[in-house]
Structures are given as structure tokens and as C-alpha cells.
Amino acid sequence: MEIVITPDADAASEVVAGVIVGVLDTRPAPVLGLATGSSPLAAYRRLIAAHVRGDLSFAHASAVLLDEYVGLTPGHPEAYRAFISRELVDHIDLPPERLFGPDVHADDLAEACRRYDQLIADLGGVDVQLLGIGSDGHVGFNEPGSSLASRTRIKTLTRATRADNARFFEDHEQEVPRHVVTQGLGTILEARHLVLVACGAGKAAPIAHAVEGPLTAMCPASILQLHPHATVVVDEPAAAELKLADYYREAFENKPRWQQL
């Protein structure tokens, strides 16, 4: 696992956008794993800007959602498909029919979850999966206690996560769906590169648990420790509780030029 500590959130977004650009430049049919939440937004804005300048095309790419709410009306503005469309896909040349998500309106939700894992496999797997981290250490919507081998499935959100996400529902916690479908931890681990971005002091504790704590279902983001190619991009406030922060800085500053992220 590589920890990249940047001076601020803007620099973190530059690192994250750079990884996506690298995948788009080198893979013939790249598959991007897209996360919601506020953490990846600045990177999405950079990607849009690069596209608008004519420097970047997504025409050959596909994208898969990490998770989705269950129970919102189709087209609800806070559905994660709508969020990703609004924040990224509507502004780039990714063919809209190549933005995939789990069918949360299916009658047989368990079957829809199985189909989603199959779809990801049929696409050839995810080249780079962006991740944020919840205050309780969740990734996607894998709440504490999630099986480390879990597949895409329905989950129940914790009170804490519903309270955190109430800000997207005009602060009405009761409007935040109780149920979600999320790629499982086992599904996420199959992506070829995991890139987790976290900024701000509120992320310091979950980042320290995920990066330097034990591998445990109590901190689902700790699965990054199992992945052969995981990058954690944090700004200084989010890095504040990392015991080995100086080592991570030194390693990054002295990285051999040929070694990419």
C-alpha cells in the first residue's frame, strides 16, 4: 500500500485525477470504478476540465458505480447514478449507456446483485476503483461487520452513516434510505488498482485505522492492506494520526522516476 500525503485537498485531487488519466491513456477499453461522496468531486472536476480543454477522452471507457441507494424513486437526484451523471458523466464523452450500476429497482434484488458482479467480470474487471472512506471506516456502503469476502449485495446503513449522509437530503435523516446495494469487499478487492482519497481532519481517525490498524471487518477500509496495488491519497489534516507519516513522505519524495503510482 502506498500512502501519498499532499499539502491540501486540491493537490490530492490532482494525484487522483492523474491516476485516472494514466488508465485512460494506456488501456484500450478502460473500466473506471466511480465513487460518490464529496471526496472524489475535486478530481472529477479536474477530469471534466481536461476533457473540455480537449486533452482527455472517455469515449473508449466504461464506468461502474460502487454502490447505490435502494428505495429512491427512479431518477431521484440523490440516487448515486444521478449523482455521478451530474458530477461527471454529463460533462464528458463517456457514452451514457456505458455507465453501469446495480439494478436496485429489480423485483429480485439478490439476483440483480449477482448480475452486477457478473457484469463487472464480463467487462474484464475494474482497472481503477476510486474509494472514499466513511467516518466509521466504511468503503462503498460496506459497513463495519461486512464480510471481508463479501460480494455485491444489499446492506443496511448504520445510524451514523445515515446521519452523515443526511446533508444530501436537506438534513432530513429520515429521508436517507435505510437500504443500499454495494459492491462487496471481495468484489472491490478484484479491481486492479484501488485509490482511496480522504481529506480533512474528520478523516484522520478512520484513515489511521484503515492504514495502520488491524485488518478487520470492524474497519472495512482496512481491506486495502490485502490488495497488491492500493494507493491512499490524503491531505495533511487527514494524515494527522498516521504514525509513519514521515516515512510515507520520505518514500514518496524518493520514489524512483520509473515507478508510477
Task: Please tell me which residue in 51, 68, 127, 138 is annotated as part of the active site.
Answer: 138
Shortest Å, Cβ 202 to ligand GLP: 8
Work out the angle between the directed axes of helices 41-52 and 9-26 (0-180°, nearest 10): 50
Shortest Å, Cβ 100 to ligand GLP: 16
The residue (of 71 and 95) whose beta carbon lies closer to ligand GLP is: 71
- Residue 67 is among the residues annotated as catalytic for this protein: yes
Task: Please tell me which residue in 143, 164, 235, 236 is annotated as part of the active site.
Answer: 143
- Residue 136 is among the residues annotated as catalytic for this protein: yes
Which of 194, 186, 191, 184 shows the shortest CA–CA distance to 142?
184
Joined grid coordinates for residue 220 = 472495512
Task: Please tell me which residue in 127, 136, 164, 236 is annotated as part of the active site.
Answer: 136
- Residue 103 is among the residues annotated as catalytic for this protein: no
- DSSP calls for 128-182: EEEE---TTS-BTTB-TT--TT--SEEEE--HHHHHHHGGGGTT-GGGS-SEEEE
Contact positions toward ligand GLP, by CB under 6 A?
35-39, 66-67, 132-134, 140-141, 161, 165
- Residue 14 is among the residues annotated as catalytic for this protein: no
Q: Cα(26)–Cα(123) distance, rounded to whole angstroms?
A: 17
Shortest Å, Cβ 42 to ligand GLP: 11
Which residues belong to the active site? 67, 136, 138, 143
